[in-house]
């Protein structure tokens, strides 16, 4: 049973500015080490960070009727084939279906929360 849907869009420049201003402090307030290990620094580094930030926001929106989650309660990881997936620090009884995308200026994520069978 679907319990919520969430979507988020963010400007890449906002994430870039936050990283330039706050550096690792920003990253550590939003992500954990496992997530950051999967994001290679390169040409689209800021897009990847922004996409994962948007994914966390989308998950919060999709789960808000069931749970009050913080950004750090949610892990956005990748399967071996590159597809994103959501994992929680604690069992919340939900499965999350997640899609993220990014282009030069924006990152977008959509999350669908479903009660575990």
Q: Assess contact for 36 and 57: CB atoms under 8 A.
A: no
Domain positions in the chain are 2-115
Q: Residue 12: is its pLDDT beyond 90?
A: yes
CA distance 55 to 45: 15
Global pTM reads 0.92
**Interhelix angle 12-22/45-63, nearest 10 degrees:** 100
d(CA 49, CA 65): 26
CA 5 vs. chain centroid, Å, equals 14
Model confidence at 28, in pLDDT bands (50, 70, 90)? Answer: very high
Is the domain 2-115 a CATH 3.40.50.2300 member?
no
Q: How large is the average pLDDT for residues 87-112?
A: 96
User: Which residue would you say has higher pLDDT here, 8 or 40?
Assistant: 8
Q: Which of 10-24, 35-49, 98-112 has the lowest mean pLDDT?
A: 35-49
With beta carbons less than 8 A apart as the criterion, state whether 67 and 111 touch.
no
């Amino acid at each position: 049973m679907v319990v919520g849907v969430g979507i988020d869009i963010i400007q890449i420049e906002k994430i870039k500015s936050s990283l330039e201003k706050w550096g690792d402090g920003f990253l550590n307030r939003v992500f954990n080490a496992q997530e950051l290990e999967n994001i290679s620094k390169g040409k689209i580094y800021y897009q990847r960070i922004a996409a994962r930030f948007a994914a966390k926001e989308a998950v919060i929106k999709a789960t808000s009727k069931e749970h009050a989650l913080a950004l750090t309660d949610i892990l956005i990881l990748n399967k071996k084939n590159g597809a994103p997936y959501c994992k929680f620090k604690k069992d919340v009884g939900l499965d999350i279906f997640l899609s993220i995308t990014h282009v030069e200026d924006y990152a977008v994520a959509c999350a669908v929360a479903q009660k575990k069978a």
